[in-house]
Amino acid sequence: MADRTDTPQPLSLEDMQRWTWVIGRAQQLMLEHGVEMAMKATETPAPPAFPTLMETTALSQAATDFWSDSLKLWQRFLMPAEPSAPSKDKRFAAPEWQQHPVFDLIRQTYLTIADHMLKSVDLVEGVDPVQKEKLRFATRAIVDAMSPSNFVLTNPEVMKRTLETGGENLLRGLEHLLRDLRQGQLTHVKEGAFELGRNLATTPGKVVKRAPLYELIQYSPTTDQVFETPLVIFPPWINRFYILDLTPEKSFIRWAVEQGLTVFMVSWKSADAAMKDVIWDDYVAAQIDAIDTIRDLLDVKAVHAIGYCVAGTTLAATLAVLAGRGEAEKVRSATFFTAQVDFEQAGELKNFVDDEQLKMLEGLAPEGFFDGRYMAATFNLLRGRDLIWNYVVSNYLLGNDYPAFDLLHWNGDTTNLPAKWHRAYLSDLYRDNKLVVPKAMTVLGVPLDLREVTTPTYVQAGREDHIAPAESVWKITDHFDGPVRFVLAGSGHIAGVVNPPAAGKYQYWTNAKPAASLDEFVAGATEIKGSWWPDWIDWLSARAPEKVPAEGARLPGEGKLAALEDAPGSYVRSR
C-alpha cells in the first residue's frame, strides 16, 4: 500500500477518474446482465424441469434495488462524507477498511453484492424447500469465499503486512499451506501446544474396562461422600471425549466429580477396517453394556446417563430398547446435551444427505471406515467464515503463528467412523427421520417407540447451535412420555455445553410452565446469568439424593474391575 501513515491521503484526480470508470463499468455490466435476464424472463418461460425466477415485478424490483444500492455507493465514493462507522464484521475490523476510500468502497460493494446474491435465492421458484435451502447454503459459501478480505491485493491489512515484512508473511503462509496440504486438514492450533494427560484430559482416573468399541474410564472421587447413583457419560464418537475434560478450569468431568458424583466416561474407539460391519445396534449395545458394567461394579440398581450430540440420539434409542425389554429402571435419569431425535428441523447438515452425496460417501470409505478429516471439513463448512476463511487470512496471508487454544486442538483431533453405520445414520435419521415414527426402526430386535420412554429427562439446547438447532433439540419434549426439564443455554454446540460456572459467561433460560413450542417456551422463560451446570446438578441430585462413602469400588481399580491404565486411556490416542 502506498500510504503508510495512519491518516489516509486524498485520492488524486487521476485516481478518482480511474476508479470512477472501473466501478461504473462494473456496475454497468451487472445492470445490463440483470436487464437481459429480465427481458428473457418476460419473453420465454423457462422449461418446467428448471427452476425459474419469480414474476417479473419481483425481478424488476430486485434489479432496481440493486442498482439503487450500487448508485448510493458510487455517489459516496465520488463525494465522501464522514468515514464509515467501525464494522462489526470481524473480516473488516482493520481501520483501513473504513478510513481508506478505495478499500471502503471495495468492502461496501462486496457487502452489497453479497446481500443481493443471498436475496436472489428467494426469487427462485419451481424447487422444493429442501432444494432452496441447499441453494441458500451454497450461495452463502460462495459469498464467504469471494470476500475481498480473502485475497492479498484487496485486503489492506495483508498488503500492509507484506510491505512491512518484505513478503516474509506470504512465505510463512505458504509453509503453513503446504503443511496443511500434506496432512489433508486445515490447522487451527499451534503444533505441540497440547498433550493428552499433560494439559488436556487430566482429571485423575483409570481405565477399568476395554471392549472392542469403547474403553470405560472411572474417575477418582474428591469428596468423602458420593451420590449412590453413579453417572455415565456417552460422548459423540465423531469427536474425542475430552471436549468434556479440556483444561482443568473448563472440565465438566472434573466439576462433576467435585459435586460428589461417581463419574464414568465412555471413550470410543476410532474406526478402522476391522469395524467395517459395525452398525447403530452395536453402539446401542455398547451403551447398555457400559450401564450394566457400572451397575454390577458398584452394586447399584440404576445409573444417571448423559448423551452428547449423536450419542444422545443413541441414548434415546437405548432408553427405548430398555423400555421395550421392561428394563427402563436401569437408568434413573437421562440428560441430553444438544442432541436430536426428530430431524425434521435438523439444520444445515441436512444439505449433505441427499442420495447423490450418500453415494459419494461410499467412494470415500473403500476400507469400510470414513476418514474423520472429511467429517471435520463438513463441520468447518457449516461455519466457513469462522473455521475456514478466518484461518486462510490469518495463517496463509498474514503468516501469523497458530494460537494455543485447547478447543481448537480438540476440533482438529478427528476420529474415523464406521462407514456402514455412518451412511445408515444419515439416511435413516437425517433424511428419512425414522426414529420418531413408532416402530419404524428395530434395534437389537426391539421395535423403537420413543413414546414408551418415561425416564426423567433433562434436555439442554444451545440458542446459537448450528449443528443441532435449538428448535430441533426441543422436539425431544414432543416424543418422550416422562417428565422433561428443558433448558436453553446461551452460545452454541460446544461453548453452550462447556461453560463452567467459574467463567461467569453466557446465560440460560428456564420456564416452569408447560409450553407447546420453543417460541412459547422462550416467550415465558426466565433468563439466568452464567452457567446452567448448577441447575443441572440440583435437578440430578433431587432425582437420587442418597449418598454413600467414597470407598471400595468407588475408587478406580479397587472393585471387581482392575485398573488397566491411567486416564485418559489408549483409545483416545488412537488414529
Exposure class string for 2-19: b at 16+ Cβ within 10 A, else e: eeeeeebeebeeeeeeeb
pLDDT below 70 — which residues of the chain? 1-87, 125, 351-352, 375-383
Give the per-residue pLDDT at 68.
56
Name the residue type at position 77. F
**Half-sphere exposure for 174 (CA within 13 Å, toward CB):** 6
Specify the pLDDT at position 491: 94
pLDDT at 346: 87
- Predicted pLDDT of residue 84: 58
Closest CA to 478 of 349, 340, 346: 340
| Nearest partner of 196 among 256, 257, 245, 239, judged by Cα | 245
Output the pTM of the full model.
0.78
Residues 6+ apart with CB under 8 A from 301: 295, 329, 330
Residues tagged active-site: 309
Comparing CA positions, the residue from 409, 382, 373, 386 lying closest to residue 469 is: 382
Q: Which domains does the chain have, with CATH numbers?
A: 13-163 (no CATH), 205-371+414-573 (3.40.50.1820)
Quick one: which of 72, 152, 78 has its CA closest to 112? 72
Q: Name the average pLDDT for the chain.
A: 84
H helices within 7-155, ranges in order?
13-43, 56-78, 96-99, 101-121, 129-145
